[in-house]
Copies of this chain bind each other. A is one copy, B any other.
Amino acid sequence: MTSPAAALDHVRDRVDRALREFARRQRAVLLAEGDDLLPAAGAIEGLLAGGKRLRPAFCYWGWRGAGGPDGQEIINAAAALELLHAGALVHDDLMDASDTRRGMPSVHRQFEARHAGGGWLGSPAGFGMGAAILVGDLLLCWTDEMFHASGLPAAALGRGRPVLDRMRTEVFTGQYLDLLGSVAGDETVASALRVVELKTAKYTIERPLHLGAALAGAGAGPDAAASGLTAAYTGYGLPLGVAFQLRDDILGVFGDPAQTGKPAGDDVREGKRTVLLAIARDRATAGQAKVIDRYLGDPLLDEAGTAEIRAAITGTGAVAECERMIGRHVTTAVAALAGAPMTGEARQALAELAVAATARDG
């Protein structure tokens, strides 16, 4: 592996292919009901074409670290996590009223446009909402379909199943807590970090690693080395997850649209309650706080406003603090792997993934 991103690339291309193949088969199932399902199939394929495949990468290397052999079966099982993620994103975009995802209109906006263009009855927003709920539901259900059709032995799937179950309950629980925090006006750093742990650290990194380990047979029995591995994955996954989210927070305010697939300053426009913004509020002078409050959640935020709130946030020192936290958390994460009972190749790959997942260029 020659670059920090190689561990990610290695899995990504194979996951891409597995998802294309799965989507191709599902398209045939959908179109068996008639051409009316074409837009739904198209929206799903568009959504599945993008993404960094982080969760499959962690699942794959969790498996390899536990001694599982390379093979198409683990790629298929790991790729199933992208279906869960895509479904969650479709519903999340609907709840956040987000306009774009991965450089394309969000699913509910695609169907709103279709309704408006067709001159149909009722409201475009209602149709967009209904279609996005159903497309998300399909994707969530397809997670299990792809997972169980991965080709892994039934005993392996039986070991992995409870981890997948827990992971899904955690992510929707985290989303509910996030929603609750936003309406309760809870803007503390502690509250933002609690949501990050459930919605990102466990869901994106720790549980995919645990899933890979469980599929490979680690942590299923009273094997001390195996449970040492599970603990090491937690020691790596939780801090790395926080670092990953902090990078995402920074990109959400300062990122380049060409890189993020979202308009500049989109997190500001949506009024997202991120750790970065919680820290900025904590440290803001009265003047800085006034600027932040003026633009946060403003759907009409323009280029000048974006520049102004960026300057205010940077002025509080919150960005520098987040960068320090990222560095510290990545170091802690990689250190947790040092004495873990795992293959050297996987330890190296996970160290590379830690850097790739939190790099400034996203």
Binding site for B on A (CB under 8 A): 26, 29-30, 33-34, 36-37, 40, 87-88, 91, 94-95, 115, 118, 120-122, 126-127, 129-131, 133-134, 136-138, 140-142, 144-145, 148-149, 154-155, 157-158, 161-162, 165-166, 168-170, 172-177, 179-180, 182-185, 198
Q: Which residues of chain B are near A161, meaning CB under 8 Å? A: 144-145, 148-149
- Contacting residues, chain B, for A141 (C-beta < 8 A): 140, 165, 168-169, 172
Task: Give the residue name and chain of the B residue nearest to A184 (CB).
Answer: B120
Question: From residue A208, how far is it (CB to closest CB) to chain B in Å?
Answer: 16
CB distance from A6 to the nearest CB of B (A): 33
**Which B residues lie within 8 Å of A158 (CB)?**
148, 154
Q: Which residues of B contact A176 (CB under 8 A)?
A: 36-37, 40, 130-131, 134
Q: A165-B145, A185-B121 are in contact. Are A172 and B134 (CB under 8 A)?
A: yes
Contact across chains for B33 and A179 when beta carbons are under 8 A apart? no
Instruction: Report B-chain residues with C-beta under 8 Å of the C-beta of A149.
Output: 161-162
Q: A154-B155, A177-B33 are in contact. Are A130 and B95 (CB under 8 A)?
A: yes
> Considering the chains assembled together, what is the distance between the CA atoms of A88 and B133 in angstroms?
10
Q: Tell whether, in the assembled complex, residue B91 and residue A137 are in contact, meaning their CB atoms are under 8 Å apart.
A: yes
Contacts of A37 in B (CB 8 A): 173, 176-177
Q: Nearest chain B CB to A181's CB is how many angstroms away? A: 9
Whether B144 lies near A95 (C-beta < 8 A) is no
Task: Report the minimum CB–CB distance from A212 to chain B (whole Å).
Answer: 18
The answer to whether A121 and B182 touch across the interface, beta carbons within 8 angstroms, is yes
Nearest CB of B to A49, in Å: 20
Query: Could you say which residues of chain B place their CB within 8 Å of the CB of A180?
Result: 36
A175 partner residues in chain B, CB cutoff 8 A: 134
User: What are the residues of chain B within 8 A of A179 when measuring CB–CB?
Assistant: 127, 130-131, 134
Q: Report the Cα distance A129→B95, complex, angstroms.
A: 7
17 sample A-B contacts, Cβ–Cβ < 8 Å, listed by A number: A33-B177, A34-B177, A37-B177, A88-B137, A94-B129, A95-B133, A118-B184, A122-B183, A131-B176, A133-B136, A137-B172, A140-B141, A144-B161, A145-B165, A154-B155, A154-B157, A154-B158
Task: Give Cα distance in the complex from A145 to B148, angstroms.
Answer: 12
The interface residues of chain B lying within 8 Å CB-to-CB of A165 are 141-142, 144-145
A30 is contacted by which of B26, B91, B134, B173 (Cβ under 8 Å)? B173
Contacts of A26 in B (CB 8 A): 169
Docked Cα-Cα span, A185 to B157, in Å, equals 45
Within the complex, the shortest CB–CB distance from A115 to chain B, in Å, comes to: 6
The 3 closest A-B pairs by CB, nearest first: A154-B154, A120-B183, A145-B165
